[in-house]
Structure 1
Amino acid sequence: MNVLIACHAGSGIGLGHLVRSLVVARNLHEAFNAEIAFFIQGPCINFQELKTYPHQFIDFSNDFFEIIKNNLARKEYQLIILDLFYDYIPENIDLILRELKQFDVKIIGIDSLKASKAVDLVFFPSFYIDEPIQKKCTAPLLFGWDCFLLNVKKSPEDWEPGKNILALTGGSDTTSLGQTLPKRLDELLPTESVLHWVSGPFSKPPCFSEICSISIQHHRRLQGLDDLMVKMNYAITVYGVSFFELLYYGIPTVVFSPYGEKDANELSAIFREEVAMVAKNSDDAVLKLKELMANDVLAKQLSQRSKLKLSVLGGKKFVQAVSDLLYEPRA
């Protein structure tokens, strides 16, 4: 099986689309011995796992889909997987996808393309999707707690209280939390706390106090977060893929969205599931983190619930979906 995976990455986008695509590639290769090629629209990224596959970085000034179409004309593929950033999806996407399907390929959209009439399947790596969006989706739609495409490589352990706190603001920190949040954490957390601040590859340098009350360790250019996450006792994070990785590892977490009402429905659902503490904003998140660190009973409950929810990962479900799409006999 030949598979072409196309995704976006870069400043303002982050690495989430690329990381999810690598999880898909790993699972497809293991299940089908698939030959996989990557087309990535964005700047060159030194990502170790990406070196396993043939890949090409495409500048945003170039026509991404024209390059994909030209590649289909040169090589036979059975499947195209698209994990695209919403702002870079052209208005005539269905026309473009129908042109690609002339090469006798199936097309799966990850996350995006829910309104497309030209995809064969939409795989939504989340536990929640708004009902109006579900109704708009004409292609088969898969979502749920067993659909997360998490790039996790270790096993969860039993939670223990401690002093290590992980702070994540996304690959780009588009709302510049790094300029204010470290100081706020330094002001309010217990003095024995050890804050592990992770700067994403497209983030500006954070602003730490000249004299800190707590210990701060600054982590940069990380290829993955697994080794760090499993050592943490608590976390504070923006809503995104890494939040669900924290849930998988059972790290008691405070989550918030710095993007206005964009994630309001999802965070309301997270609150109802009782797998994390949900904050209104970054200031509220610091207060809730302080509260969480003082409540071992609550922290342990969050850890146990979150691990249970993500006991089955989405790679297996994606493999089954591909098998059904390509190999099941048609009625």
Structure 2
Amino acid sequence: MIYFRADANAEIASGHVMRCITIALECKKRNHEVKFLIADNEATILLENYGLEYIVLNSDWKNPITELDTMSNILNRQRDIVIIDSYLVTNEYIRQLNDLSHIVYIEDQFTGKKNVDLLINYNVYHYIFDYYSIYANTNTKLLLGQQFTPLRTEFTDHNDYTNNYNVKDILLMCGGSDEKSFLLSFLNVATKFLQYTFHVVLGVYNKDKKCIKCKYAENNRIRLYENISNISNLMCKCDLAVTAAGNSLYELCEIGVPTIFFAYSDNQKYDCMGFNQKKMVRYAGNIDVGKKHLIQNIMENIEELSSNLNLRIEMSNNMKKFVDGYGTERIVDNIMEVYKYVNNTSA
């Protein structure tokens, strides 16, 4: 069995679970059994949308080590792999879990050397952590760089993106949650720019959904979306995108939508460095430095990009060269090597 250990809620949003879902669906496509291990019921809405099985551990998601006794009754090292996507697991957690299963670990930031079979960091800034020196002379296999970005199959099957002469439609996203109320604050400003239509994606854990719907449901310049089954179609229809950093940046790159992004949380602090160096997308700032200033920067970038078709075409071309959409398949190829090893040694 291939297990996935990840959580989602209003505080940590949905990114960890969603990229695990992407990998899990590819595993299922190859006829492997998959199941999620989750601390509580918060992530069930996401998993049920994709028909994925799960076990609720009834543990504290902020303190994963408390769940190991429960996991010991589930896992068998002779046949199981656990794919972990969490910032909260400690080296002691990994050490104890190693007695129960083989481990694949997905991380965005280096938080210490991990004793795992496979480590994945697909982020553009992965090189700043010197993984190859850190993991020299270990049995850990490294999957590093954007060629291992886990994107759903919809991002390999989409139609070609075309930059329009005039910017009319702008995509607005802020991940699965928005505890800092960015979307609500941005829309209060954006409605003054009547030349644009904003297509707003409301995450499943967004606490302001009811308020946003009440204020803007009847505004023909604000289009609201929830539970989108194929977000790549919406991306392809928009002339610009505004998004918090995270996996959506890689999705937008694969399609080639000129994008303005901002840092929303501490784990996104390196995105500005990596993407700015590649000169693909525009970085507008960090929300924690000041939301009003951030929104002003975003609107200035929108105005600049709207008036410069050549710049948008250059950005789009650079973005499409960066991500090819086959990262999930490469990840699962490598997971299958671990799985093959597990099965061979248990035979």
State the match for 1:28 in structure 2.
Answer: 27
Tell me the alpha carbon deviations over residues 157-209 of structure 1, each in whole angstroms, 9 at most, x when there is no partner.
Answer: 1323241111111111132212311122223x3x2311011111111226669
Contact 1:167 1:235 survives alignment (8 Å): yes
How is 1:151-170 mapped onto 2 (pairs within 5 angstroms)? 151-153=152-154, 154-161=157-164, 162-170=167-175
Query: Structure with the greater relative contact order (CA < 8 A, sep ≥ 6): 1 or 2?
Result: 2
1:50: Cα distance to partner?
Answer: 5.2
State the match for 2:105 in structure 1.
Answer: 109
CA RMSD of aligned residues (A): 2.9
State the distance in 1 between where 2:327 and 2:277 align: 22
1:303 aligns with 2:316: yes
Contact 2:173 2:201 survives alignment (8 Å): yes
Q: What residue ranges of structure 2 are gaps of 5+ in the alignment?
A: 286-293
Task: Calculate percent identity across the aligned residue pairs.
Answer: 21
> SS where residue 72 of structure 1 aligns?
coil
State the match for 2:290 in structure 1.
Answer: none
- Count of aligned pairs between the two proteins: 318
Match of 1:128 among 122, 125, 128: 125
State the match for 1:226 in structure 2.
Answer: 232
Q: What residue ranges of structure 1 are gaps of 5+ in the alignment?
A: none
Contact 1:258 1:282 survives alignment (8 Å): no
How is 1:69-108 mapped onto 2 (pairs within 5 angstroms)? 69-72=72-75, 77-84=79-86, 86=87, 88-90=88-90, 92-100=92-100, 105-108=101-104
1:98: Cα distance to partner?
Answer: 2.7
How is 1:140-219 mapped onto 2 (pairs within 5 angstroms)? 140-153=141-154, 154-161=157-164, 162-187=167-192, 189=193, 191-205=194-208, 215-219=221-225
The AA in structure 2 aligned to 1:192 is: Q
Match of 1:294 among 307, 331, 335: 307
Question: Which moves more between the two structures, 117-126 or 213-222?
Answer: 213-222
Tell me the alpha carbon deviations over residues 272-291 of structure 1, each in whole angstroms, 9 at most, x when there is no partner.
Answer: 21211121233312211221
State the distance in 2 between where 1:242 and 1:316 align: 18
Please report the TM-score for the alignment, with normalisation by the length of structure 1. Answer: 0.84
The AA in structure 2 aligned to 1:109 is: Y
1:316 aligns with 2:329: yes
> SS where residue 73 of structure 2 aligns?
helix
Cα 1:132–1:313 change in 2 (3 A) is same
State the distance in 2 between where 1:29 and 1:71 align: 20
Contact 1:97 1:118 survives alignment (8 Å): no
State the distance in 2 between where 1:58 and 1:8 align: 11
State the match for 2:289 in structure 1.
Answer: none
Tell me the alpha carbon deviations over residues 244-265 of structure 1, each in whole angstroms, 9 at most, x when there is no partner.
Answer: 11111111110111336x5343
Q: Which has the higher helix share?
A: 2
1:17: Cα distance to partner?
Answer: 1.3
Contact 2:161 2:257 survives alignment (8 Å): no
The AA in structure 2 aligned to 1:30 is: K
1:156: Cα distance to partner?
Answer: 4.3
> SS where residue 98 of structure 2 aligns?
helix
Cα 1:38–1:168 change in 2 (3 A) is same
1:322: Cα distance to partner?
Answer: 2.1
Cα 1:210–1:29 change in 2 (3 A) is closer
State the distance in 2 between where 1:114 and 1:156 align: 39
1:296: Cα distance to partner?
Answer: 1.1
